[in-house]
Structures are given as structure tokens and as C-alpha cells.
Amino acid sequence: MAARGDRGDAAAMLDTTLPAPRPCHPNRDYDRVRAAIEFVSARRRHQPEVDEIAAEIGLTPTRLHALFRRWAGITPKAFLQAITLDHARALLRDSASVLDTAYEVGLSGPGRLHDLFVTHEALSPGEYRAGGAGLTFSYGFHPTPFGEAIVVVTPRGLAGLGWSDGAREAALDDMRRRWPGAQFVERAQETAAYARRVFDPAEWRADRKLRVVLIGTDFEIRVWERLLSIPLARATTYSDIARALGRPQAARAVGAAVGRNPISFVVPCHRVLGKSGALTGYHWGLSRKQAILGWEAGQARA
């Protein structure tokens, strides 16, 4: 599957065609953050100063500061530091045992403190065909801190989440392809609660778990369950997941399974890095992976 690259300027062009902006601009904040990330990534050698970045994206340093405090809860400097290779390596060091400990404790154990609490059920492709096909899936498009997203829910819980970036039809088609035979009905009122629940840390509560439905092959389900055991602001590697599953050689297959995860963000595929700490790939664009990791660094501090 072709990774969809970053399309900052496409999004910016679309922006100009949108109707009157609303008082709150979650997407505009994200676009600016992403522009900052891209600027920094493009000159990794040089490691630009905060002033330079502000100039590049057309803000004063003060407003850049305010933007990051509002959006991620931390200063621009802390944010930028949180997305460097050095930091990723430190993150992996600190998180070395998450897969072994957190998973045994259980998906709802103390390891999930301060994180999105999830309860899940799993369906194999066969089970889905037997009982799931013919279901009606509700979907809606909602703003998130990382751009507009499509949210797909079934009566049993959240089944899909992906970023649409203004290309709503493509996002919907992507979901339809995953569950052929299902009916899709737009019901944004129904999906809005999920979107709010997922992206507002104030709503992450152990006593009101988010119900999700994982539909995939045995191997995929096992990978996704492991992902759910990685706490906020922690990370692991493809090879560590393979090892934890008892298939030490299957790192590449793990990568493919991670990439097929239908519930982005909730099943935290962004918390999987290459063994070297490099970010490697992300279906929704590498800079979005960085943005999420930096944002999570801010949430973890709160």
C-alpha cells in the first residue's frame, strides 16, 4: 500500500477555499506545528533555533511559544527536543520493558495510568464475514489535534479512525475496503462523542473505558494487542514486538501488521520505532508521527 506522504501545501491550498473560519482553529494549529516539524526535519544537520522556525512559518517567537503551549502543553524547545533521534533513543531505553511488564499486568493495569483506557474485542476475518458483514457502520468527520479524521463506529464500539486531510471520499473508501459488505451511514452526531473521548485527555478515565473492536487476522490482532499495552509517551520497536510474540524473526511482518491497524492513535502505532530510534514509517506521514509523539510528551508532563 502506498504510504500517503505529507501534503502540507495541499492542505494549505484547501484552507483558502474553506468557508469562514470558526473561532477555534485546531487544524490551523496543527498545520503550523507540522510546518515547523518539516522545517526542522529538512535541515536536521543545522538544528535551527526557535527564532528561525518562527520566522519560517510566519509567526513571532512569542506567538510560536503560545501556539505550542496551547497545542502540546509544552514549550517549542521542549517539543522539538522531544522529536529528535537522541530523545527517541532515550525513550526506547526507558521503555525497554514495557512490553514484558505492562502486558502481564493487563491492558487496564497501572501501566495505563494517564492514558486512554481501552477495552477491546477481537474478530477474525472469518468471524467478521459470518456475523459482521451486513452490519451498519456509522461514520463522521471530526477535527482532531492532528487534522480532520474519519471516525467509524459499530454498535460494539469504535472500529476505525484515520485522517482525512480534506480528502473525505478517499478516507471513506479506505474504510470501506477494510470491511467489504458493511453498510456505511454518515451519522456525525453518533461519532462525535468518540472523537471527543479519544482526543481529549480529560476524558481518559479508567472507570469509563473506550470500547473498540479489532478486526484482523490472528497475527494482526496479537500485534495490535501488544500496541495497546504501550503506555503514553513510551515507545517500543518492531523487533521487540516480534520477540514478545515469540517470533523473533518476524519484525518485518510486525511492521506490516502495525501499518494495517485500522484504529490510528487509539491503537498507538505511532509508538513503534525502528531499532535505532529512527521513526521509520507511518501510514499517515512521518511528520504526523512526530507531532503525535511530541504532543504525547506534553501530555505526559501534565
Partner DNA sequence: AGGGCCCATCGCA
Partner DNA sequence: TGCGATGGGCCCT
The least CB distance from residue 247 to DNA, in Å, is 5
Dihedral pair phi/psi, residue 186, rounded to 5°: -75, 120
* Cβ partners under 8 Å of residue 270, min gap 6: 264, 282, 288, 289, 292, 293
At 152 the three-state DSSP class reads strand
Cell of 155: 454498535
Q: Does 275 bind DNA (CB under 7 A)?
A: yes
Does 24 participate in catalysis according to the annotation? Answer: no
The least CB distance from residue 65 to DNA, in Å, is 29
Among 73, 96, 274, 300, contact with DNA (rule: CB under 7 A): 274
Q: Name the amino acid, one letter, at 34.
A: R
Q: Does 247 bind DNA (CB under 7 A)?
A: yes
Neighbours of 155 (CB within 10 A): 10
Question: How many angstroms separate the CA atoms of 248 and 241, rounded?
Answer: 8
Among 282, 287, 293, 298, contact with DNA (rule: CB under 7 A): 282
Please say which residue, 112 or 288, places its beta carbon nearer to DNA.
288
Q: Does 177 bind DNA (CB under 7 A)?
A: no
Please say which residue, 35 or 254, places its beta carbon nearer to DNA.
254
Angle at which helices 26-42 and 61-71 pack, to 10 degrees?
110
Measured in whole angstroms, the distance separating CA 236 from the mean position of its chain's CA atoms is: 15
The least CB distance from residue 110 to DNA, in Å, is 25
Please say which residue, 190 or 225, places its beta carbon nearer to DNA.
225
Q: Does 157 bind DNA (CB under 7 A)?
A: no
The least CB distance from residue 264 to DNA, in Å, is 7
Catalytic residue among 64, 269, 292, 293: 269
* Cβ partners under 8 Å of residue 219, min gap 6: 253, 257
Q: Name the amino acid, one letter, at 298.
A: G
In terms of Cα–Cα distance, which of 215, 263, 267, 266 is closest to 241?
A: 267
Q: Does 258 bind DNA (CB under 7 A)?
A: yes
- H helix or E strand, kind and range, residue 173: helix 168-178
Please say which residue, 51 or 218, places its beta carbon nearer to DNA.
218
Site for DNA in 195-224 (CB under 7 A): 217-220
The least CB distance from residue 255 to DNA, in Å, is 3
Place of cell 463522521: 140
Among 238, 263, 290, 295, contact with DNA (rule: CB under 7 A): 238
DSSP 43: T
Q: Does 47 bind DNA (CB under 7 A)?
A: no
Q: Does 253 bind DNA (CB under 7 A)?
A: yes
Among 157, 255, 285, 298, contact with DNA (rule: CB under 7 A): 255
Q: Cite the active site residues.
A: 269
Contact footprint for DNA (CB under 7 A): 1, 3, 217-220, 237-239, 247, 249-259, 261, 269-270, 272, 274-276, 280-284
